[in-house]
Amino acid sequence: MKKIRLFTPGPCTVPEEALLEMARPFEHHRTAWFKEVIKDCTEKLQKIFLTTNEVLIITGSGTAAMEGAIVGCHPAGSKALVCENGKFSERWGLICDQYGIANMRCKVEWGKPIDPAVVADHIAKDKSITSVIVVHSETSTATASDLEAIGKICRQHNKLLLADCITSAGALPLRTDDWGVDVLITGSQKALMLPPGLGFAAVSPRAWEVIEANKAQHSFYVNYNKARKSAKQSDTPYTPAHLLVRGLRVTLDLLLNEGLENVWKRVAGMAAATRAAASAMNVQLFSQRPADSVTAFNVPAPVVEKELRKMLREKFGIHFAGGQDAIEGKIVRMSHMGFIDSIDTLGAIAAFEHSLHKLGHNFTLGAGVAAAQKVFVERGM
Ligand SMILES: *Cc1c(COP(=O)(O)O)cnc(C)c1O
């Protein structure tokens, strides 16, 4: 018997109701019925993002949505400040380069957050900067940055703020309108509890002004102007991954019925319990400002990362992610997103403990589960 338990920070566990919805016989996508589904999902996404901005549902993963946004928001003469503190933020700089968009990389050591004061400093020194690109929760290092403070700076200096909220939207406190996020991007396979294949964007009127006036430079497939025109009719420019949109309606209902603040609390509780477990197991965290949506653990010597993940996977069906680039083999990452709760988290911690113990890490077996359990009991979850 093998039960799959996804604790990877994407894809995450999809609830059965959504899987069943997507397995039902389907209609054509150019129908009044499907338009109604799109309209409903769009309104529900606005509730999740806490925004009145227009929302686009894009077929393609989060990267596609980000590519369309970056290209659209940077006409000739613009310049992006790319805040880079991990693998995903690095990718956004590469997209700028690919399209010949002028950009400055504000590089921070992996594991550290973006310092809003440094962003302010760059903006003050370089008047040609027109936008700031930042990752709210850098999944590669499990680090959260202070998006609210960065948003405040962007508003003060009238710069567009493009935020990758792929592992924050639907998991961490995120207030798009209050924080002044001009383009919020997320994807389907993280906190929104679906398989991969959809990207989402919430675009402010300020950003639309720039995108609309940008006649020269757009991605062909993810062209925001075209997507917007269709979205106004609750439609899409090309064939959408419409089964995913159907599943989306189900997962958005689950999140909204739980209550957005309760979702944030559940995720924060699982993260806090996991951090308490790490400390009790004598395992260090990689991040200096841990995000609640994902936790990165330094793999303690003499444990070998590949063996650890293999044991978790083969013995317990538990999938953790590894590290990328320079931190490959040094960390493992565990998600707190998706259709999971305190009991699932306790199970994952128990399997993690078992594997660490078997692979030679020295600590008191059971200490991790006990510490996590204590946090859950204190929080009533
Ligand atoms: C998952 C993720 C992405 C998107 O990656 P895709 O491969 O396009 O799904 C981007 N940024 C962050 C922070 C992510 O966690």
Residue 199 Cα to ligand 1 midpoint, Å, equals 10
What's the pLDDT at 1?
80
Same domain, yes or no: 101 and 142? yes
Ligand 1 atom at minimum distance from 88 CA:
11
Same domain, yes or no: 239 and 270? no
Residue 88 Cα to ligand 1 midpoint, Å, equals 7
Same domain, yes or no: 274 and 177? no
Residue 321 main-chain phi, psi, to 5 deg: -100, 155
Residue 71 and residue 52: Cα distance in Å, rounded? 23
Q: What is residue 183's three-state secondary structure? A: strand
Q: What is the sign of the dihedral through the CA atoms of 182, 187, 193 and 198?
A: positive
What is the total count of domains within the chain? 2
The last residue of one of the domains, among 242, 257, 272, is: 257
Same domain, yes or no: 143 and 287? no
Same domain, yes or no: 277 and 151? no
Same domain, yes or no: 236 and 323? no
Same domain, yes or no: 373 and 306? yes
Task: List the residue whose alpha carbon is closest to atom 2 of ligand 1.
Answer: 166
Same domain, yes or no: 147 and 286? no
- Global pTM reads 0.98
Same domain, yes or no: 76 and 200? yes
Q: What is the pLDDT of residues 50-71, one digit of tens each?
A: 999 999 999 999 999 999 999 9
Same domain, yes or no: 104 and 212? yes
Q: What is the sign of the dihedral through the CA atoms of 337, 266, 286 and 154?
A: positive
Q: What is the pLDDT of residues 278-329, one digit of tens each?
A: 999 999 999 999 999 999 999 999 999 999 999 999 999 999 999 999 999 9
Ligand 1 atom at minimum distance from 64 CA:
8
Ligand 1 atom at minimum distance from 9 CA:
15
Contact 64, 113 (CB under 8 A): no
Q: What is the pLDDT of residues 118-162, one digit of tens each?
A: 999 999 999 999 999 999 999 999 999 999 999 999 999 999 999
Same domain, yes or no: 23 and 164? yes
Mean pLDDT of the chain: 97
The last residue of one of the domains, among 196, 222, 257, is: 257
Residue 224 Cα to ligand 1 midpoint, Å, equals 19
Query: What CATH number corresponds to the domain at position 69?
Result: 3.40.640.10
167 CB within 6 A, ligand 1: yes
Domain span at 278:
5-10+260-379
88 CB within 6 A, ligand 1: yes
The last residue of one of the domains, among 236, 257, 278, is: 257
Residue 225 parent element (H or E): helix 224-231
63 CB within 6 A, ligand 1: yes
Ligand 1 atom at minimum distance from 62 CA:
8
Query: What CATH number corresponds to the domain at position 334?
Result: 3.90.1150.10
Residue 111 Cα to ligand 1 midpoint, Å, equals 17
Contact 262, 268 (CB under 8 A): no
187 CB within 6 A, ligand 1: yes
Contact 251, 98 (CB under 8 A): no
Same domain, yes or no: 244 and 112? yes
